[in-house]
Structure 1
């Protein structure tokens, strides 16, 4: 029962970490999750998780790398194959040698072979941690592709180096020739096992389909089991399970592009299912990492034979050495490649780009799992020297690399104006396409499809609003606050005009004025307004729980409203509708190139408000007769989007890569819409 509660607590912590990230977006989710993991470890809940490194790799790293292999840009992977291999293989081996000697020189109590083991555990960058960077740090696409490709492959070279270093430490013997041959066998064997087992799986599925078993759930279950089975099979054959699941992921991505109705349906379910699996596993990886840190730190902090200050300095120096070595390797290769190709016309590799690549080498769960697999004893029965210190240093470097990626890397990446400009351009293109679709749908309105078309147009306005607000939490600027306060002034002015013209009653003015007063207070005193709103909803929820009959009676009163009350509701809707129309007209008259980022989202927002008022006013007979009509209009809108993308590509307004990405997103949306229609 304690273990069940512990796992449940971890799942709750995943939810809390993402919630906290909305309030503190400058702190990366992995760092928040590590902090929550530490708190869970310190709670007196009676359950303690002992991390089994082998189980950790198969349960978490295998499915995550399989999914990364599926979604990695294959063309970019092939285009950057040389720098990826130099980082994933060359830099890993250089790190093992140079950092190994550095650690042994700095901490003589750690033997050279053990220092090599520590360096090998620190050599691989973490694919999970690297993937978490892409959501919050706008690194150039080439760097992101390079990091993802490196992280997919370097786990194998790092783990093999670690195994040989541990073997040399435990047995006291080491052969470079045997180690090199074994690495080739393990790496190539891992890739072959992944390819062969994937081929056998596809043949099995083909046979199953021949029997008439087209159940998507059955096929999805097999796909979920695939990375675990391939990893275990590869490890049983003593080859790299990591490279096996990566190769399998790449093959599955190619297979998933086949034009087969059943395959398309499976792809839709697969994408949704894997998004949930990856979301949970990513969170659990860093939470479990956090739960291990207190027990690791306690041993070293109190009894390691080295002062706490010295240990901290060692961690900082090793982290700095890893970054420096990575920078020299990356910048040196780019300079060499530039002069080798004699690219006099091409711009030289940027110094800052090499720094970004160096600081992006985040260490994570693979490093910790590898360090924790260090044996307790040597072959002669003696204790493994400084095992706890090695694990603690590895944990410290993981934290340092995450802190650097969280707080220093965004500062450098933010100054990449070209990249930011590309993001803004892409967002502007998407908004333009969606607006063109709204105009096109408006021209297609007929009495028969009016309700369905207006519903779909409202969906498009919602998409535009989301794009204008951005993916991250929207923080209101001083200019936006001033404009919203000005809009409230317009509403008051228009309300008074309608009252003077006897189009609304004094009672409606009183009610709407109180609503505007609340809005104004929320803008001027945002924090206090949030507290008041929270307590208001909490009080209502408490009343609902304690007195559910009162809530039902209130609902009945609304449903059985008198003619007088219905007239009052209609009058308020009329006032809101007139105000929204006025606001949209005035905002449109004010918009220009300088204030488009401010006024544009406000226009979209108030158009959405106007749509909602129209829905409230709509009679049941005017509503869409069925979802089928809505789906038909949605598919018409998707085709309009596709036509707009093609037109912009042919005119040179967008690049081939952007057009391809937009079409891929559109294909998924179309598939989902068709699925909804067929369901």
Structure 2
């Protein structure tokens, strides 16, 4: 049976096959739906700009997705959890892991582990016992499964909510690291919760050992694949030269390969994708490949925008259907509407209180440890704790996880509490997003931050060091050329050009100096950048004029335009850095 036939059988309703014409119509429907989702993601940014007040992009995309699902539009995409995890999660986690600073991750490994592993276990236990007490019809093991569903956080939603508000760098890295790791720990815990519900048996030592094997195996698989990928790409580059498009395409497939390999071997595919991103970042195989680096940055930026947008649109797509079936959830446990509506609120309060207490205890322990070492410590800010608590926003991972719960047990009876769990999970997702949207920006504005951003200081120091190295190299080349050249006029011209190039690096050597000559040099550098940008715009306008009058063709224009764009990108990058 070929692949097309297998695909037809997989998509066909039970007991019937799809004809070629029916399969073609189904394919057109899939393509049409995909285009609608992409269009919705694209116009979400436009709508945000038209609104008289600011709304985070995730909430707008969720609302658009829900609007598409109303009967008037009739567009509803059923979220398949396995397909969702395969298509969306690996590339997004891979990109986040690639950008995660290695130094900060190592330094903050303790707090990240405490949140991504310790807090997940606390959440699973607290929610499990609480839901079992709140809804006696729900077995304790099924309550643990709901706790695992609600444990992963969504750092993407937090970044979109905070917008331009400055997050303390240390807190930002902790939240990024937590979101990277707790997806895997929460989903592994979900696997054990579901197994315990279906079999009625649970062994803590066996579960702990399985958890370690699954996590360590996922990390090992991701590291091995990334290392192998780096070696193969390095060999191909040395053998056939740099081919940016091919290398970027292969890189795009790496997170999917890591995820699939991990899942095939029975370990964590999510941790495999995370480990692949971190490993490739540490190997740094893109050194010296300018075109590949530029294409890679553009590709991942666009991919993240589209995938994140589609995730939130799909989340909004599920809400009307889930709320429409809320009556089934009410009937399954025999309560009225008021009691059903109070369950998500109670669970959300439990999640926030347990997170607040866990973060408070964790920070207190960090302060106590620092004092024992004789280090200078500052008082733990209640605003930092509150910000960390509210940043525990639940997102699409939670929705996909709760929808992945089995419909029935092995004997055919419905999975206990599944419809209630879906209602609670969706309500918690929306509530956490709305609360964070309202409360996070004011909290961040009131947090006392250093006047000089440590990241900006570090960047200035690095620029000064690189500028010194550049000036030393140019000076050495000038002296070597002067010694080797027999033409005095040529040597003088070379020295003049070298001095002009070295002057461009002078403003970076002492950017904090108040000396008049340094201030004048920096002003001159800014003027030069402005003049160069104006000249580039004039070049671009002239190229369009020449192309419009058929004096040059499109190939010539694109080649020259590529050089202009590269120069402009460098100048504008310098402008952003200089403003810090």
For residues 504-543 of structure 1, what are the alpha-carbon distances to aligned partners after superposition, in whole Å with 9 as ceiling and x for unaligned? Answer: xxxxxxxxxxxxxxxxxxxxxxxxxxxxxxxxxxxxxxxx
Residues 278-293 of structure 1 aligned to structure 2 (within 5 Å):
278-293=304-319
1:174 partnered with 2:202: yes
Structure-2 residue corresponding to 1:19: 46
Instruction: Check the 8 A contact 2:244/2:292 in 1, yes or no.
Output: yes
Residue 73 of structure 1 pairs with residue 153 of structure 2: no
Contact 2:387 2:443 in 1 (8 A): yes
Aligned to 1:373: 404
Task: Report if aligned partners of 2:111, 2:174 keep a CA contact under 8 Å in 1.
Answer: yes
Equivalent residues of 1:58, 1:231 under 8 A apart: yes
TM-score (norm 1): 0.64
Task: Tell me if the contact between 1:72 and 1:148 (Cα under 8 Å) persists in the aligned partners.
Answer: yes
Question: How far off is 1:212 after superposition?
Answer: 1.1
Q: What is the DSSP-based 3-state SS (H/G/I as helix, E as strand, rest coil) of the residue aligned with 1:42?
A: coil
CA distance in 1, matches of 2:570, 2:519: 14
Where do 1:96-135 residues align within 5 Å? 96-133=124-161, 135=163
Structure 2 counterparts to residues 138-153 of structure 1, below 5 A: 138-153=166-181
1:270 and 1:362 mapped to 2: Cα distance?
29
Select which of 419, 431, 445 maps to 1:400: 431
Distance 1:137 1:207 in 2: 44
Secondary structure at the aligned position of 1:418 is classed as coil
Q: Which residue of 2 aligns with 1:313?
A: 342
How far apart, CA to CA, are the structure 1 residues paired with 2:378 and 2:90? Answer: 39
How far 1:638 moved relative to its partner?
8.5
Structure 1 pair 226/336, CA: closer, same or farther in 2 (3 Å)? Answer: same
- Pick the aligned partner of 1:82 from 110, 130, 139: 110
2:384 aligns with: 353
Q: Give the corresponding residue for 1:591.
A: none
Q: Distance in 2 between matches of 1:365 and 1:213?
A: 41
Q: Distance in 1 between matches of 2:536 and 2:105?
A: 38
Give yes or no for contact 1:455–1:630 (8 Å, CA) kept in 2.
Answer: no
Q: CA deviation at 1:444?
A: 7.3
The CA deviation at 1:361 is: 0.4
5+ residue gaps in structure 2? 1-27, 464-506, 512-517, 540-548, 550-559
Query: How far 1:186 sits from its partner (Å)?
Result: 0.5
* Counterpart among 426, 440, 446 of residue 524 in structure 2: 440
Residues 458 and 360 (structure 1 numbering): CA distance in 2 closer, same or farther, change over 3 Å?
farther
Which residues of 2 match residues 531-570 of structure 1 at below 5 A? Answer: none
Cα separation, partners in 2 of 1:180 and 1:452, compared to 1, 3 Å: closer
2:213–2:267 contact (8 Å) kept in structure 1 = yes
* In structure 1, distance between residues paired with 2:179 and 2:566: 43
The verdict on how the C-alpha distance between 1:213 and 1:399 changes in structure 2, with shifts beyond 3 A counting, is: same
Q: Which residues of 2 match residues 454-533 of structure 1 at below 5 A?
A: 454-455=534-535
1:326 to 330, 355, 359: 355
SS at match of 2:330: coil
Aligned to 1:268: 294
Structure 1 residues 100 and 437: CA distance shift in structure 2, 3 A: farther
Residue matched to 1:567: none
Residues 221 and 337 of structure 1: CA distance in aligned 2, closer, same or farther (over 3 Å): same
What secondary structure sits across from 1:316 in the alignment? helix
Say whether the 8 Å CA contact 2:329–2:420 is kept in structure 1. no
Determine whether 1:411 maps to 2:439.
Answer: no
Q: Which moved more, 1:30-39 or 1:121-130?
A: 121-130
Distance 1:47 1:457 in 2: 44
| Cα pair 1:452 1:633 within 8 Å, conserved | no
**Deviation larger for 335-344 or 281-290:** 335-344
How many residues align? The count is: 473
| Distance in structure 2 (CA, Å) of the matches to 1:383 and 1:276 | 42
Q: How does 1:326-345 map to 2 (within 5 A)?
A: 326-342=355-371, 345=376
Match runs of 1:149-160 below 5 Å = 149-160=177-188
Contact 1:37 1:290 survives alignment (8 Å):
yes
Q: Matches of 1:103 and 1:27 in 2, distance apart?
A: 33
- Distance across 2 between alignment mates of 1:102 and 1:204: 51
Offset at residue 5 of structure 1 (A): 2.5
Structure label with greater radius of gyration: 1
Shift in CA distance, 145/436, structure 1 to aligned 2, threshold 3 Å: farther
Name the CA distance, whole Å, in 2 between partners of 1:183 and 1:257.
32
Counterparts of 2:252 and 2:87, CA distance in 1: 12
* Superposition deviation, residue 207 in structure 1: 3.1
Report the counterpart of residue 568 of structure 1 in structure 2: none
Relative to the length of structure 2, the TM-score reads 0.74
Q: For 1:629 and 1:174, how far apart are their aligned partners in 2?
A: 63
In structure 2, the CA distance between the partners of 1:436 and 1:72, relative to structure 1 (3 Å rule), is farther
Cα 1:423/1:290, change in 2 over 3 Å: farther
CA apart distance, 1:281: 0.2
Instruction: Give 3-state SS (helix, strand or coil) of 2:205's partner.
Output: helix
Shift of 1:3: 2.9
Q: Structure 1 131/630 Cα, relative in aligned 2: closer, same or farther at 3 Å? A: closer
* CA displacement at 1:637 relative to structure 2: 6.2
Tell me how far apart the structure 1 counterparts of residues 230 and 528 of structure 2 sit (CA, whole Å).
45
Match of residue 34 from structure 2:
7
Does the C-alpha gap of structure 1 residues 424 and 410 become closer, same or farther in structure 2, counting only changes over 3 Å? farther
CA distance in 2, matches of 1:455, 1:103: 66
The RMSD of aligned alpha carbons is 3.5
The answer as to whether partners of 1:77 and 1:145 remain within 8 angstroms in 2 is yes
Give 2:503's aligned residue: none
Quick one: distance in 2 between partners of 1:46 and 1:629? Answer: 48
CA distance in 1, matches of 2:563, 2:93: 42
SS at match of 2:266: coil
